Structure 1
Amino acid sequence: MPDITWEQPFCQDASNCFRIGTDEEGNAHIAVAGSEEHHITDSVEALRTLIRDIKAGKADHLL
């Protein structure tokens, strides 16, 4: 498993918290806060787009 540097959790409300992380190879990782061992890995731009879409209400059903 790569060494991931996790950022502080981002919380929409108390029940919807997730964390973004990066590794030495420049990959981005996203996980539900507290469950970082089960995460999704993709490019930084792909995960950034996902988060922007969620914040814009395009994918609020995912939260």
Structure 2
Amino acid sequence: MAEINWEQPYCGEGNNCFRLGTDHEGNAFIAVLGQEDCHLTDSREALQQMIRDIKAGKADHLL
């Protein structure tokens, strides 16, 4: 398993904290803070697109 370089946690309102990470093979990861062993994996491009979509308000209905 590749080593994941986790970013500092991002915590929204109500302490819903998650972490983003990447590895040297071009994979991107997202996990709930404290549950990094149970993460979702995708490409960096997919993670970048997800972040762009969130910033554009396309995920507001999920919050």
Q: TM-score, normalised by structure 2?
A: 0.76
Relative to its length, the structure with more helix (as a share) is 2
Aligned match of 1:10: 10
How big is each residue's C-alpha offset from its partner over 1:7-50, in whole Å with a ceiling of 9 and x where there is no partner? 00111223321111111212111111111111111111211222
Unaligned 5+ segments in structure 1 are: none
After superposition, the Cα gap between the structure-2 partners of 1:5 and 1:12, relative to the gap in structure 1 and judged at 3 Å, is: same
- In 2: Cα distance, 1:5 partner to 1:33 partner: 14
Query: CA-atom RMSD, angstroms?
Result: 1.7
- For 1:1-63, list aligned pairs within 5 A: 1-60=1-60, 61=62, 63=63
Rg larger for: 2
SS of equivalent residue, structure 1 residue 50: helix
For these two proteins, the number of residue pairs brought into alignment is 62
| Mapped partners of 1:58, 1:7: distance in 2 | 23
Q: Give percent identity, aligned residues only.
A: 66
Runs of 4+ in 1 over 3 A off after TM superposition: none
Distance in 2 of aligned mates of 1:32 and 1:47: 15
Q: In 1, distance between residues paired with 2:43 and 2:37?
A: 18
